[in-house]
Amino acid sequence: MTRLAIAAVVALVCILPVLGTAAQAQVSDADKRCLGCHSRRGLFKRLENSDHMTMVVPADLFAKSEHAANACTDCHTDVNPGTHLQTRKSIKSARDYSLASVVVCQKCHEKESAAWQNSIHATLVGAGNARGPVCTSCHDAHTEIKGAPVSLANVPCKSCHDTIFAAYVGSVHGQASSDGKTGPLLCSGCHNAHDVSVASSPTGPKNACIACHQGVLQKHQAWLPNAALHFDVVSCPACHAPTAPRRVDLQLVDSGAQTRVQEKAGVPTFQTPGTSVDAIALYNLLRQTTNGHAVLRGRLEVSTAEQIHQLTPKSQAISDCNTCHSAGSDAFKSVTISVAGPDGLPVRYVTDKDVLRSVMSIGSIGGFYAVGGTRIGLLDILLILAGVVGIGVPGAHLMLGVVVRRHLRAHDAASARRRPE
Ligand code: HEC
Ligand code: HEC
Ligand code: HEC
Ligand code: HEC
Ligand code: HEC
Ligand code: HEC
Ligand code: HEC
Ligand code: HEC
Ligand code: HEC
């Protein structure tokens, strides 16, 4: 019996790799000659920056990989077997070598390359960010296997976004992925693998959430008035990561393109990010940076990258309207204004309620409405509310409560007129 079982296991172990490699091409004799040197342990090259770069290619993994169908020199077009070691190539740094590989991959993988070119990651690389990922930051050119499953264990994003990964593992989706009850929902399920956008932009993860959770808007409409508006101005994690700190971010967006207004490289910015914006600076920003073609898009969001990813089961999500719609609610005490930095990433300038009040007092709150004619509506009222309550004016609470309620009623009536349901 046991011998039979062992024989069966041995047979299986022998067959599996055969099945796995049946479709794969033989490694050619020319490639075997390259591997004769390049599979030797300890082979390295000294780079211009004095680093030692390993020159070892794992011959067995290469033989099993999708790219074994290619000759080494299909990708390494600059290697001439005849003169390879006589005319040694000079390489500045490992990073430089990786940057050059993008063109190699592009030859055969046009679709993925075009998507990557369109991403915030490629923008970062273009701006000279040394950590911006290129193809070989996430893929190994010598060992790729077609359709090889990406799992929690090997998701490439975690090498750079390790603290986000740790937070994500404990979330509903991280749990579901590790339970194996569903197919894994990894980072690329919400952010894409190649066409990765700035998360807080309209092309961020929200659309992926809604596409997966069919009928989710209707489910919220059952208890949340104007759920579509909430979906637009409240980031999903602001309710679904219930203990996370929240803030209001006023995105300065181009009224035509609807993308964040870009700060130009070389032009001095009006403040150091993270420090408080004063009224004059804000006024100047609105007038000068935008040339009058910008609007402010208010948005409630979670303020730390890690806590965004601690999404909980629905029973813990925030349903209490007072969390946001009450005087001095915490969410409205932290306010930032954001633009796109020269590298495409959002730069957030801290503002505070005093700023908003002094902006108002010098008459430039008109700027909020005049610049592109935006209407932030309730959000503004709530911001002002937070400011007034901050200095503890007795009665203001009550008075502004009435204003807000009236605003809500008026708005409800207006929306009811606009689209009968
Ligand atoms: C006789 C051993 C040997 C053979 C055969 C050989 N290489 Fe190399 N290769 C090396 C060594 C040693 C280096 C490091 C050179 C240095 O230090 O500058 C190297 C470097 C490289 C590099 C790094 C970039 C560069 O040009 O320095 C690549 C890529 C490479 N080899 C590919 C190949 C390919 C493809 C083949 C087959 C066509 C091949 N090698 C055949 C020994 C060999
Ligand atoms: C599908 C394209 C492709 C094929 C096929 C390929 N390589 Fe590479 N190889 C690359 C790229 C891209 C890099 C640069 C990786 C990086 O550092 O970002 C690389 C890097 C190397 C290096 C430098 C060390 C390293 O791993 O970074 C050596 C040596 C090398 N290749 C040898 C070979 C040999 C020998 C073969 C054939 C057995 C081969 N390559 C086949 C694309 C390829
Ligand atoms: C000479 C053409 C060629 C080059 C250059 C090339 N590949 Fe490939 N690659 C292929 C082929 C053919 C396959 C087989 C699967 C397919 O049909 O897409 C493949 C498969 C893959 C896969 C697995 C696809 C899957 O369906 O799971 C990945 C990932 C991949 N390549 C990444 C790269 C990267 C990264 C580079 C650059 C370092 C690169 N390739 C360069 C031809 C190429
Ligand atoms: C930030 C990480 C990352 C970068 C950078 C990246 N990829 Fe990918 N790639 C992935 C992941 C993850 C997958 C697995 C599929 C998925 O999750 O959608 C993948 C899948 C692929 C596939 C298989 C086809 C598919 O859609 O399943 C190919 C081919 C590929 N990548 C090529 C490239 C090329 C070429 C580049 C550079 C232009 C590149 N990748 C850059 C992460 C990356
Ligand atoms: C080689 C390193 C590296 C890898 C791998 C990587 N990233 Fe990034 N990514 C960065 C850097 C650097 C930034 C700029 C922001 C920062 O420093 O965190 C960034 C930015 C982002 C942003 C935009 C942040 C914002 O403010 O909106 C998203 C979204 C993102 N990455 C998702 C991913 C996903 C998804 C993967 C895996 C498919 C991944 N990253 C893999 C380096 C990497
Ligand atoms: C369930 C969907 C989902 C998954 C899975 C997910 N994210 Fe996110 N991610 C989001 C949302 C939503 C935001 C915030 C968007 C917003 O501001 O509205 C975000 C924001 C980000 C940001 C920008 C953070 C900042 O500073 O503003 C980065 C970087 C990021 N995610 C990387 C990752 C990485 C890496 C993984 C995998 C470990 C991952 N995400 C998994 C939904 C997801
Ligand atoms: C104002 C707070 C709030 C916002 C904003 C919000 N949710 Fe929810 N969501 C909830 C609450 C509360 C529940 C639980 C309702 C229940 O148990 O019936 C819920 C339930 C869900 C469920 C489970 C639905 C079911 O019953 O199967 C999903 C999925 C979901 N939300 C996704 C999202 C997505 C995606 C977004 C962003 C586009 C979002 N939510 C925005 C508060 C919110
Ligand atoms: C690729 C599909 C997919 C995407 C994209 C996705 N989810 Fe999910 N979501 C799931 C699956 C699968 C589960 C697990 C259901 C389970 O455990 O029964 C889940 C669970 C949830 C739950 C818990 C529901 C409950 O019954 O308690 C919430 C809340 C939720 N998701 C919100 C979101 C939000 C918010 C986003 C975007 C930021 C998002 N999801 C993106 C597939 C997805
Ligand atoms: C996580 C914070 C949050 C929660 C919880 C929340 N809201 Fe809101 N709500 C907002 C924000 C932000 C706006 C932005 C309004 C704007 O731009 O005019 C808003 C807008 C509204 C509006 C105005 C809609 C319009 O058409 O202008 C109504 C009505 C409203 N909420 C009712 C509710 C009710 C009722 C609940 C509880 C069932 C609730 N909200 C829960 C944040 C929240």
pTM above 0.85, yes or no: yes
Name the closest-CA residue to atom 38, ligand 8: 209
Contact indicator for 297, 251 with CB cutoff of 8 Å: yes
The residue with greater pLDDT, 269 or 355, is: 269
* Intra-chain end-to-end CA distance of the chain, in Å: 70
Rounded (10°) CA dihedral 185, 190, 195, 200: -160
Give the other-Cβ count within 10 Å of 188's Cβ.
Answer: 18
**Are 291 and 350 in the same domain?**
yes
From 138, 172, 203, the end of a domain falls on 138
If you search the block for the tokens 């940076």, which residue do you land on? Answer: 289
pLDDT band at 397 (very low <50, low <70, confident <90, very high): very low
Does the C-beta of 106 come closer than 6 Å to ligand 2?
no
The verdict on residue 57 lying in a domain is yes
Indicate if 269 and 306 belong to the same structural domain.
yes
Residue whose CA lies nearest to ligand 7 atom number 33: 236
Quick check: is 62 in a domain? Answer: yes
d(CA 226, CA 109): 43
CA of 59 to the centre of ligand 1 (A): 14
Question: Does residue 204 form part of some domain?
Answer: no
Residues 251 and 380 both lie in one domain: yes
Assess whether pLDDT exceeds 60 at residue 322: yes
pLDDT confidence of residue 276:
65
Is the separation of the CB atoms in 187 and 168 below 8 Å?
A: yes
Residue nearest to atom 30 of ligand 1 (CA): 79
Query: How many C-beta atoms surround the C-beta of residue 377 within 10 A?
Result: 13
Instruction: Name the residue of 200, 209, 216 whose CB sits within 8 Å of the most ligand 7 atoms, as the mutation to test its pocket.
Output: 216
Based on the fold, state whether residues 132 and 175 are members of the same structural domain.
Answer: no
Per the structure, how many domains does the chain have?
A: 3
The whole-angstrom separation of Cα 416 and Cα 414 is 5
Distance CA 368, CA 359 (A): 10
Distance CA 21, CA 65 (A): 8
Q: Is the pLDDT of residue 314 over 60?
A: yes
Q: Are residues 252 and 343 in the same domain?
A: yes
Probe ligand 1: pick from 31, 33, 37, max atoms within 8 Å of CB? 37
Is the C-beta atom of 172 inside 6 A of ligand 7?
no
Distance between CA atoms of residues 122 and 153, nearest Å: 25
Task: Determine, yes or no, domain membership for 200.
Answer: no
Whole-Å CA distances, 255 to 117, 259, 350: 25, 8, 22
Least confident of 138-152, 340-354, 404-418: 404-418
Instruction: Over range 357-386, report the average pLDDT.
Output: 34
Residue pointed to by tokens 């005319």: 87
Two structure tokens written together for 176:
């579901």
308 vs 170: CA distance, rounded Å = 12
Higher local confidence (pLDDT), 380 or 389: 380
| 131 HSE (CA, 13 A, CB side) | 6
Distance set, CA 301 to CA 164, 171, 274 (Å)? 16, 18, 17
Sign, Cα dihedral of 196, 200, 203, 205: positive
pLDDT at 182: 75
Query: What does the buried/exposed string (b/e) look like for 20-40 if buried means 16 or more CB atoms within 10 Å of the residue's CB?
Result: eeeebeebeeebeebbeebee
**Which atom of ligand 9 has the smallest separation from the CA of 414?**
26
Domain-located, residue 161: yes
Q: Give nearest CA residue, ligand 6 atom 27.
A: 305
Do 284 and 240 reside in the same domain of the chain? yes
**How far from 184 is each of 173, 188, 232, 309, 374, CA to CA, in Å?**
8, 10, 27, 15, 41
Which range of residues forms the domain containing residue 166?
156-190
Q: Which amino acid is at 72?
A: C
Mean pLDDT of the chain: 77
Q: Whose CA is nearest to atom 6 of ligand 5?
A: 157
Ligand 8, atom 9, lies closest to the CA of 173
Q: Residue 154's closest CA among 109, 118, 105, 188?
A: 188
Give pLDDT tens digits for 147-181.
Answer: 888 888 899 999 999 999 999 999 999 999 888 87
Tell whether 133 and 241 lie within a shared domain.
Answer: no
Q: What is the rounded CA–CA span in Å between residue 260 and residue 294?
A: 9
Q: Are residues 164 and 272 in the same domain?
A: no
Q: Which two tokens stand for residue 335?
A: 């306010």
Cα 205 to Cα 192: distance, rounded to the nearest angstrom: 9
Q: How far apart are CA 285 and CA 270, in angstroms?
A: 7
Ligand nearest to the CA of residue 330, numbered in listed order? 9
Angle CA(354)–CA(355)–CA(359) in degrees, nearest 5? 120
Based on the fold, state whether residues 67 and 183 are members of the same structural domain.
no
Separation of CA 317 and ligand 7 centre (Å): 7
pLDDT tops 50 at residue 215: yes
279 and 336, same domain (yes or no): yes
Provide the pLDDT confidence category of residue 359 given band limits of 50, 70 and 90: very low
- Do 289 and 402 belong together in one domain? yes
2 within domain boundaries: no
Would you say how long the chain is, in residues? 421
46 and 172 part of one domain = no
Q: Which atom of ligand 4 is nearest to the CA of 137?
A: 5
Q: Which residue has the tokens 């579901």?
A: 176
Cα separation, 394 vs 388, whole angstroms: 10
What spacing in Å lies between the alpha carbon of 306 and ligand 3's midpoint?
33
- 222 located within any domain: no
